[in-house]
């Protein structure tokens, strides 16, 4: 059953503040394209899942675990590996996508929690849209591309607001301007999270 918005927030707010603050600047996103509703887990074998031997099934699940460390995926993969060959096939055909969707929703709820704390309106809107849409495709698309772009929009707004401060130091004004001129999500995020403090620290030394 798909977790409700309230259940997701209960899970997220139960985490320690340190864990939330340690979240990466951008959500870790696998390179695979968003799954379709009928997609099955990709494997390194050309053998169809329903024709795989038990050894091949175990190897395919091991491949998934090598790049998917979300709690739901790890939990369901573990159950499949402890079960029968049919349990492993079921995991590869449908279970993996369901478990990854659960993990993706939790990841989005964590991002939403932090964005709400920081007042990042574009990220908040993107998270809510993905959660309200309620599909694996929407969740995966947001984590792989939407979050990065929304965070860049919020970071650019944050930096622009800094530049509107008449009391901003020349060094910070120059560094902020360079970040905006660069315009990449990475440059904007770096300045907001790290660069501005490095420049301010240099001014105090």
pLDDT along the chain (205 residues), means of 10: 55 45 42 38 76 96 96 98 97 97 98 97 98 97 98 98 96 97 97 96 70
Of 150, 145, 133, the residue nearest 34 (C-alpha): 145
What's the pLDDT at 205? 53
Q: What is the pLDDT, as a whole number, of residue 201?
A: 86
124 CB neighbour count, 10 Å cutoff: 17
Asked if residue 122 lies in contact with residue 154, where contact means CB atoms within 8 angstroms, the answer is: yes
Rounded CA separation 109/132 (Å): 12
Long-range contacts, 83-86 (Cβ 8 Å, 24+): 85/54, 85/57
Instruction: Return the closest-CA partner of residue 107 out of 148, 155, 144, 143.
Output: 143
pLDDT of residue 20: 42
- CB-count burial class (<10 Å; 0-12, 13-18, 19+) for 55: exposed
End-to-end CA, the chain: 56
């Amino acid at each position: 059953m798909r977790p409700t918005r309230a259940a997701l927030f209960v899970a997220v707010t139960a985490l320690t503040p340190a864990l939330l603050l340690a979240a990466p600047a951008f959500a870790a996103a696998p390179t695979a394209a968003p799954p379709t509703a009928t997609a099955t887990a990709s494997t390194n074998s050309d053998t169809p899942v329903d024709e795989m031997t038990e050894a091949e099934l175990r190897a395919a699940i091991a491949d998934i675990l090598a790049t998917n460390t979300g709690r739901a995926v790890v939990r369901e993969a573990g159950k499949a590996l402890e079960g029968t060959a049919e349990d492993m096939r079921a995991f590869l055909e449908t279970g993996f996508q369901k478990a990854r969707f659960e993990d993706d929703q939790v990841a989005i709820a964590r991002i939403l929690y932090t964005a709400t704390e920081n007042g990042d309106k574009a990220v908040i809107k993107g998270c809510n849209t993905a959660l309200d849409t309620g599909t694996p495709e929407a969740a995966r698309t947001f984590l792989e591309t939407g979050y990065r772009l929304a965070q860049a929009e919020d970071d650019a707004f944050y930096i622009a607001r800094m530049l509107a401060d008449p009391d901003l130091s020349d060094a910070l004004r120059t560094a902020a301007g360079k970040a905006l001129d660069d315009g990449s999500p990475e440059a904007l995020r770096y300045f907001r999270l790290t660069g501005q403090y490095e420049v301010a620290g240099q001014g105090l030394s």
